[in-house]
Structure 1
Amino acid sequence: MNEHQLTQMLRADEEIITKKLDFWAKEAGDRTFFYYGEDDVALTYAEFARRTDDIAGNLAAMGIEKGDHVSVFSTNSLLCTLMMFGIWKAGAVYCPINFSFSGRLLAYQVNDTAPKLVVTAPDLLPRVNEIAEELESSPAVAVYQALEGSHDYVAELPAVHPSLKAVTWSELTKAASRPDITVSFDDPANLVYTSGTTGPSKGVVQPYRWMAGYTYGMRVLMTSDDVIYNDLPLYHVGGAIANVCRAAWAGCEVAVWNRFSPNDFWNRIHGRKVTSAILLDVMLPWLTKAEPRDDDRQNTLNKVHMQPLPLNHAEFAQRFGIDFVHAGFGQTETGMGAFVILKELEEGQGTPADQYQGLSHSELEKVAEESGLLVMAGDKAIKKGLMGYPSPFVEVSVRNQDDEECRAGEPGQLAYRPRLPGLLLHSYLGKPEKTIEAFKNLWFHTGDAAVLDEDGMLYFVDRLGDRIRVRGENLSSFQVEDMLLQLSGVKICAVVGIPSDEGDEDDIAAYIVPSENEVLTEDAIHSYSNDNLPKFMRPRYIRIVDEVPQTPTNKIEKYKLRNMILQELGRA
C-alpha cells in the first residue's frame, strides 16, 4: 500500500482520539464508557466528555497552553483518565509519573519534565512535598478530592508545600467552556518515560498518530458490544492507550481497576461481561495456579493480548475458553511494530454462544485480512518469542553490530522505519544525542534482539544492554545502581538481571564493593532498598564483595557477574 492508502486506513476511524470521544458522546452519549471498579462508578460517554471539557477549560483558564506539560501522579485510574483526556482537550501534553516513585527518582522526572502543573492525590502529595526544594521550577500542584464514600476519600486534605502554588480540585473541575484548540496528528500528545540503558530514564515524546498506529491492530477487532478490562497502571501505554483509548475508539466500555488481583480477576470479568483483556506474562502463572474448575470456560472473555507470548498460550486458551489470542512487539517509542492473531479455538468451542459478544469468528478474520493483519492457527505458534508480521505502517529490519542487515534467521537488533510521519516518537525529551543515536542510519533501533525468518515472521530473542524487566516494568541497571550508590559506604555497585523462576521476567542481583573501612551487610542494603526503591527495583540477591571483575579500561564485566550468581544458584 502507498502512503495515501495507509493514511486513509488510520483516518477512516478518526486518528485524533479526542475527536473520536466527541463522536461517541454525540452518537451514543448514554452508553457506558468508563466503569471504575474501585468505587463501582460508571460514567457514560456524554458525562465523561462533559467532565473532561470542564477540566480542559479550567486548565486553559490557569494559563496552560498548547504544548505545555501537565504531570499526573496518582494510583487512581479514574483520576488519571479524566486528566488525560482533559489535558489533551486543552492541547497540553499528558505526562504520567510512575506512582512507585519517590525521592531521587521522582525529583529527576519532575525536573526533566518541567511541568506547569502536577496533579496528584492526598496519599502521594507528601512525596511531592518532600522534593519541593529540589525542583528546578515551581509547578502548581492540584490535589484530587474524592467524593465521600469513595475508596480513597480523605476528610482533610494535606497542605501543599509553601514553595508550590496550590490548586484546589474544585478549581480544576468546576463548569467551564472547552477551549478552542486544534491539534494535528503530529502534535505531541504524551511524554512517557522509559528506562535508559547507560543513563537516566528518557522521556519519550509521542504524537497523536503514535496512539492511532499503536492501537490499530487491536482496535479494528473491536465493536461497541465489546468490553475491555484494564488493571494496568495509567503511567504505561498498555493501560492508558492500548486499553482506555482503544475503548474510546471502538465506542465500547472499559472496566478499570487500580491493580491486578488473581483472586478477583474472574469475578471482574463476569461482573462487567468483559470480552477483551491484556495479560502480562507475570499475570498468567497466578491465574493458572488456581485449581481447575468445571466452569472455567463459563466466561465472556474471547480476545486476550499476551505480551510477551508464552509457549503455554494454547493451554491457557483451552482451559479458559479464549477464542483468540493476539501478541506483538509493543514499545513506548515505536508503538506496535509487529502483530499476530492466533485462532486458538473454533467458533462454539471457546466462549459459550450465549455469552459471546463482539465480532464473530468469520467477521474478525475478514476484518483482519482487510486490515493487513495475520491470523494463524494457535497450534502452529510453537516457537518461543513469536511477535508476528510487521505492522503495515512500518518497514522492519534486523541489524548486526555493524548496522548492516542480517540474513534471514540471523539474530540482531530490531529496527523500524515509519512509512508515515508521526508513527514513531518525536524524540527523547531534551536528549538530542540519544535521539540521533537511536535513529542511526535512518532506522530506529529498539534495543531488542530479534530474528526475521524467511517468511517475514518476527521473533523476539532478548533485551540488549543492561535492560531488565521486573513485575511488568522495564528498567535499567543504571537506575538501580544510581539509587544504591546513594547509600553511605557503597563504593562500587554493579547490577545484573538474571532469568526469574517464573515467566519471562528477571530477578535483580546487585554486587556491592564497600568503601575502605566501611562495614556493610546484606540485611542493611535490603533495608535501604525497601525504604528507598520501588518494589520492582529492589534487588532479590545482594552480594558484598572485595572487587568486581573489570576490563583493562575499568569497565565492569557484567557477564562474569551474571555467570557467578547463576552458578551459585545452580542455574548456570
Structure 2
Amino acid sequence: MFPSIPHATVPDLINHVCDQFAQRPCLAMYGSSTQTYAQLHANVRRMAGQLDALGVQSQSRVLIMLENSPQVIHTWLAVNFINAIDVGINTGYRGQTLEHAVTVSEAKLLVTFSHHLDVIAGSAQKLGQLQTILVLDADADARGSSPAVALLVDAGIKVVVSDELPVDAACPKVPVGPADIASVIFTSGTTGSAKGVQMPHAQVSLLAQRSAQKTGLTQDDIFYSFYPMYHMAGKFMSVLATFSVGGTVVMDTSFRPECWLSRIRETGATATAAHGPMLEMVFAQPPASGDRDHALRVVRTAPFPKRIATQFEARFGVRGLEVWGMTEIGIASWSDISKPLVVGSCGRIDTEFFEFSVVDPATDVPVPTGTMGEFVIRPRYPWTIMQGYLGMPDKTVEAWRNLWFHTGDCGWTNEDGQVFFGDRRSERIRRRAENISASDIEAVALEHPSIAEAMALGVDSGFESDDDILLCIVPGDGHAVEYETVLSYLAQHLPHYMVPRYLVFRESLPRTATGKLQRGAMRAKLPDLSLWDRKANNVSVRALRA
C-alpha cells in the first residue's frame, strides 16, 4: 500500500513476522522467561478464538484494562485478529474518568485482572452499554464471592473468568483492511474530557514499521519498554515496532529512574524510549564508572531536554533520537541518528508520508521560516492518521480547518528544515508524559461537598516540558476544609498522576464576565501565594489511598 511499508494491517504484520521468525525470542517480562514468535502466535490465535466464542463482532470495541504483561499483548493482538477494535484503558482510571471512557466507547466487553474489579464496581451503574467483564486471572473473588462481583451483577454486568472459556476455540478467518479501525487510544486533552483517538490499521502499521526504520531496529535488537499499552509510545512505537523486524521486547511494569540503567544492563537492551522528564530523572542519578557499561545504542525521546542532551549522550554513550508527533497523527518528524545531534530540534518532517506547515493560529496563513506558529499537518496517503475522536464529532471538526489537521502544538523551522517544538497553544498540564485535562480534575474536586469552586493549573516541576499540578479551591460557605482531607478524596477518585501536588485555598477565583475561569489571571498571582506542598509534607498518593 505504501512505498516503504510492506504490511498495512496488524494481523498481516504479525502473521508475517511469526512465520519468518517463529523460533526467535519475541517477548519477556523483566526478570521472567521469554516466549518465541511461534508461541506468541499460538497465544494470540487462541485468545482470538475465545473472544469470538464470547460473541465479539467485527469492528466492535473491546475495552482492555491491563497492566504490562504477556496477557495485554495477547489480548490486544487477538482483538485485532478478529477485526475488532482494542480500546486501551488507563489502569489508573477510576470514577468519572473511567465512566467516560467506558460510556463513550459503547463497548460491551471489558478485559481486565481481578484486582481492578473493586474500582470498576464502584462505577457499576454508570458504565454505559457494558455487558461482560472477562477476568484473565482465576482469582476466587472473580467467581462470584466478592462484593464487587455482586455490585456488577446487580448492574446487569456478567463476570467471566478466562479459564471458563474453551481452550480449543478456533481463530476465525475475518477480513481486515487498512481502513478498518484497529485501536482507540484515549489522549487526555488539554481542555475537556479525554478524547478517544480512532486509529486505522494503516496508521498503526505505518507508525510501527516507520518507528523501526527510523530507530534502526533489526532482528538482533532488544527493546526495553516500560510504557503502558494504552499509550502509543509503548504499544506501537516500542512493542509492535520491535515485532515488525523480529526483535525482542523486554517489558517492565513501570519506570524507575534509579533502576533504569541497571535494567538496561541486565536485559542487554540495545534500544529504548523515554520522555524527556524521565531522562532528566535518569541524568540526576549520581554518576558512576559503569554509566557506559551496557549495550544500549539509542534512546528515542520527546523532547530530548536541551539542558542535558549533549551531556546525556556523552555520559551514557548513547544517541538520543528526538521526535515530534501525537496520537492523532503518529510521528511526523524524526531526528537522524546517523548525523550529529542538533540540540532542541525534533528532526525533519517525514515528507514521504506527511505535508506540513507552520501557520499563524489566527489566520491559518503560513509564517516565515524561523517564526513561531502552529503546526498543521495532513497525510499523503489515506487512512494514515486518525479517523476522528470517538463520540466527539465536534472535537473532530474543530481539529480540521482549511484542509489541515491543527495540532495545537507551536514551534518553528529553520533554513535547514529542522523542526523546533515550542509549546501547546491551549492551557495544558503535562505530567510525566501524560496530557491532563484541568477540567477533569476540577469536575472531581467540585463533587466534594465542601468545595464550591476549583481551578487546576500546571506549574513548573523543574523538568523540561513537565508540570506539577496545583489545585486552587474556594470552600463552600460555612465549610472548613483541610488539605489532607481534600487530597484523600481526590486520590480516591482520580488516577494517581492527576492528584495535585500543591493546594491553595482562596476566597474567590478570577472569572470573565461570562463566568469563565481566567487561568492566566490566577497564574499571575502565584508568586504572591503560599502553596501547601504535598511532597514537603510527606503525603504520598499511596498513603492517601490506604
Q: Normalising by structure 1, what TM-score?
A: 0.87
Tell me the secondary structure at the aligned position of residue 512 of structure 1. Answer: strand
**Unaligned stretches of 5+ residues in structure 2:** 532-546
The aligned counterpart of 1:318 is 314
Contact 1:325–1:341 (CA<8 Å) still a contact in 2?
Answer: no
Matched, 1:43 2:32: no
**Unaligned stretches of 5+ residues in structure 1:** 147-153, 343-374
Residue 72 of structure 1 aligns with an amino acid whose one-letter code is I
CA distance in 1, matches of 2:494, 2:515: 27
Residue 226 of structure 1 aligns with an amino acid whose one-letter code is D
Aligned with residue 555 of structure 1, among 516, 520, 531: 516
Q: What is the Cα deviation at residue 497 of structure 1?
A: 1.1
Q: What is the Cα deviation at residue 473 of structure 1?
A: 1.1
Matched, 1:475 2:436: yes
How does 1:292-441 map onto structure 2 within 5 Å?
292-311=287-306, 312-322=308-318, 324-342=319-337, 375-378=338-341, 381-382=342-343, 384=344, 386-392=345-351, 393-400=353-360, 401-441=362-402
Q: What is the Cα deviation at residue 234 of structure 1?
A: 0.9
CA distance in 2, matches of 1:76, 1:328: 24
Greater mean alpha carbon deviation, residues 25-34 or residues 169-178: 169-178
Q: What is the Cα deviation at residue 172 of structure 1?
A: 4.8
Contact 2:143–2:161 (CA<8 Å) still a contact in 1?
Answer: no
The aligned counterpart of 1:233 is 228
Over 3 Å counting, the alpha-carbon distance change for 1:136 and 1:530 in structure 2 is: closer
Greater mean alpha carbon deviation, residues 394-403 or residues 49-58: 394-403
CA distance in 1, matches of 2:186, 2:326: 11
Count of aligned pairs between the two proteins: 518
Q: What is the Cα deviation at residue 519 of structure 1?
A: 2.6
The aligned counterpart of 1:100 is 92
Greater mean alpha carbon deviation, residues 297-306 or residues 160-169: 160-169
Tell me the secondary structure at the aligned position of residue 459 of structure 1. Answer: strand
Q: What is the Cα deviation at residue 158 of structure 1?
A: 5.5
Tell me the secondary structure at the aligned position of residue 461 of structure 1. Answer: strand
Q: What is the Cα deviation at residue 218 of structure 1?
A: 2.6
Over 3 Å counting, the alpha-carbon distance change for 1:290 and 1:500 in structure 2 is: closer
CA distance in 1, matches of 2:29, 2:507: 52
The aligned counterpart of 1:68 is 60
The aligned counterpart of 2:478 is 517
Aligned with residue 210 of structure 1, among 203, 210, 219: 203
The aligned counterpart of 2:167 is 174
CA distance in 2, matches of 1:233, 1:211: 16
Contact 1:214–1:242 (CA<8 Å) still a contact in 2?
Answer: yes
CA distance in 2, matches of 1:287, 1:520: 38
Q: What is the Cα deviation at residue 318 of structure 1?
A: 1.1
The aligned counterpart of 1:363 is none
CA distance in 2, matches of 1:206, 1:171: 32
Residue 56 of structure 1 aligns with an amino acid whose one-letter code is A
The aligned counterpart of 1:500 is 461
Residue 9 of structure 1 aligns with an amino acid whose one-letter code is S
Q: What is the Cα deviation at residue 261 of structure 1?
A: 2.3
How does 1:14-33 map onto structure 2 within 5 Å?
14-33=7-26
Deviations 1:177-210 (A, max 9, x none): 2111121111100011112333211111000111
Residue 224 of structure 1 aligns with an amino acid whose one-letter code is Q
Tell me the secondary structure at the aligned position of residue 255 of structure 1. Answer: strand
Contact 2:109–2:133 (CA<8 Å) still a contact in 1?
Answer: yes
Residue 389 of structure 1 aligns with an amino acid whose one-letter code is R
Residue 88 of structure 2 aligns with an amino acid whose one-letter code is P
CA RMSD, 1 decimal: 1.9
Contact 1:73–1:118 (CA<8 Å) still a contact in 2?
Answer: yes
- Residue identity (%): 28
Tell me the secondary structure at the aligned position of residue 34 of structure 1. Answer: strand
Deviations 1:521-544 (A, max 9, x none): 333322222222222111222111
Greater mean alpha carbon deviation, residues 419-428 or residues 192-201: 192-201
Q: What is the Cα deviation at residue 171 of structure 1?
A: 4.2
Contact 2:453–2:475 (CA<8 Å) still a contact in 1?
Answer: yes
Q: What is the Cα deviation at residue 137 of structure 1?
A: 1.7
The aligned counterpart of 1:191 is 184
The aligned counterpart of 1:90 is 82
Residue 144 of structure 1 aligns with an amino acid whose one-letter code is L
Residue 376 of structure 1 aligns with an amino acid whose one-letter code is K
Tell me the secondary structure at the aligned position of residue 235 of structure 2. Answer: helix
Greater mean alpha carbon deviation, residues 560-569 or residues 79-88: 560-569
Q: What is the Cα deviation at residue 173 of structure 1?
A: 6.8
Contact 1:485–1:491 (CA<8 Å) still a contact in 2?
Answer: yes
Matched, 1:136 2:128: yes
Residue 212 of structure 1 aligns with an amino acid whose one-letter code is S
CA distance in 2, matches of 1:215, 1:179: 25
The aligned counterpart of 2:249 is 254
CA distance in 2, matches of 1:155, 1:200: 35
Contact 2:409–2:423 (CA<8 Å) still a contact in 1?
Answer: yes
Aligned with residue 112 of structure 2, among 120, 124, 127: 120
CA distance in 2, matches of 1:166, 1:549: 47
The aligned counterpart of 1:564 is 525
Deviations 1:319-339 (A, max 9, x none): 1111x3211112110100111
Contact 2:188–2:434 (CA<8 Å) still a contact in 1?
Answer: no
